[in-house]
Amino acid sequence: MKRGVREVSPRTVITRRDRRLDQSSFLDPVLRRWGRTVSLTDQDKEALAALPWTRRVYPRDAYLAREGEPTSICTVLLGGFAFRQKLVSDGARQIISFHIPGEFLDLQNCLLDVADHNVQALNRASVAAIPKAALLDLMTARANIRRAIWLDTLIDSSIFREWVVNLGRRDARGRIAHLLCELADRLRAAGIAEGEACDFPLTQEQIADATGLTAVHTNRTLQALRKDGVISLTSSRLVILDWNRLVEIGDFNERYLHHSV
């Protein structure tokens, strides 16, 4: 069952910049996402903007957090993609979630003092690192933000549940189709996709590690989806040629993403 996992030295590049310059770029995608379900006042937004944070940039495959290590910060993904994973005893890797800009990577750190999984940059990624104590204080002070953050973790949880279903009860074709549906849907909701096309930097090995398959079988299954005219996937670019078909193959129902309520 062993599958190769490239190990990359965590040489983190840390950069500090003037807070006021980056302020809007840090908050905008987060506010956009939260705005779908929670209404924040100007006071709420000011309080968020006043949060202390540090910008960090990571190269591809770098670890942002490691299982077993103590937690002190929460991170928002600003640019690039990231994923969370766990390693099993024989060295195989299971990817647990993918993340796109504007999403928190580890809100559970607020209350959990030791990480129970790893976080890796999928491609070159930049994040905002916020001391968890500051976030907790903000949650104590502002009910709307408290609700938004809790809701964020609850939706996270809902997505894990759907992944359990995906891995447990769908075949290779269905699993991959479902994953593509989810990512396309989230990229669209975030305003990052362009119509039916989007940047899609996942390697086939990463898709395999997320769907519980091998890279070889992932390759064959993707080819079948291409041959059937459902998708086009080349050089980090995904085009969904037949959305309805993909939804049917993946048995995809967006309810679990809770874009509203």
- By beta-carbon proximity to DNA, the closer residue of 193 and 213 is 213
Q: Can you read off the two tokens belonging to residue 239? A: 């085009």
Distances (CA, A) of 221 to 177, 204, 217: 10, 10, 6
- Answer whether 115's CB lies under 8 Å from 106's CB: yes
Q: What is the footprint of its own copies within residues 57-76 (CB under 8 A)?
A: 67-68
- Answer whether 72's CB lies under 8 Å from 131's CB: yes
Q: According to the binding rule CB under 7 A, does residue 6 interact with DNA? A: yes
Q: Please state the closest distance from residue 149 (CB atom) to its own copies, in A.
A: 9
Q: What is the footprint of DNA within residues 154-193 (CB under 7 A)?
A: 171-173
Binding residues for its own copies, rule CB under 8 A, total: 49
Of the candidates 135, 72, 57, 149, the one whose C-alpha atom is nearest the C-alpha of residue 103 is 149
Q: Report what 173 binds from DNA, its own copies, none; CB cut-off 5-8 Å by kind.
A: DNA
Q: According to the binding rule CB under 8 A, does residue 92 interact with its own copies? A: yes
Binding residues for DNA, rule CB under 7 A, total: 24
- By beta-carbon proximity to its own copies, the closer residue of 61 and 251 is 251
Residue 13: other Cβ atoms inside 10 A: 11
* Measured distance CA(154)–CA(58) in Å, rounded: 27
The distance from CA 74 to its chain's CA centroid, rounded to whole angstroms, is: 14
Angle between helices 143-169 and 19-35 (to 10 degrees): 60
Q: According to the binding rule CB under 7 A, does residue 2 interact with DNA? A: yes
- By beta-carbon proximity to DNA, the closer residue of 2 and 16 is 2
* Measured distance CA(107)–CA(237) in Å, rounded: 29
The distance from CA 169 to its chain's CA centroid, rounded to whole angstroms, is: 23
Provide the mask over 120-159, with x wherever binding to DNA is found by CB under 7 A and - wherever it is not. Answer: ----------------------------------------
Q: Report what 216 binds from its own copies, DNA, none; CB cut-off 5-8 Å by kind.
A: DNA
Q: According to the binding rule CB under 8 A, does residue 133 interact with its own copies? A: no
Provide the mask over 210-249, with x wherever binding to DNA is found by CB under 7 A and - wherever it is not. Answer: --xxxxxx-xxxxx----------xxx-------------
- By beta-carbon proximity to DNA, the closer residue of 140 and 223 is 223
* Measured distance CA(178)–CA(88) in Å, rounded: 24
Q: Which stretch binds its own copies (CB under 8 A): 124-132, 182-190, 222-230, 249-257?
A: 249-257
* Measured distance CA(224)–CA(217) in Å, rounded: 11
Query: Under the rule (CB under 7 A), what is the footprint of DNA?
Result: 1-3, 6, 171-173, 203-205, 212-217, 219-223, 234-236
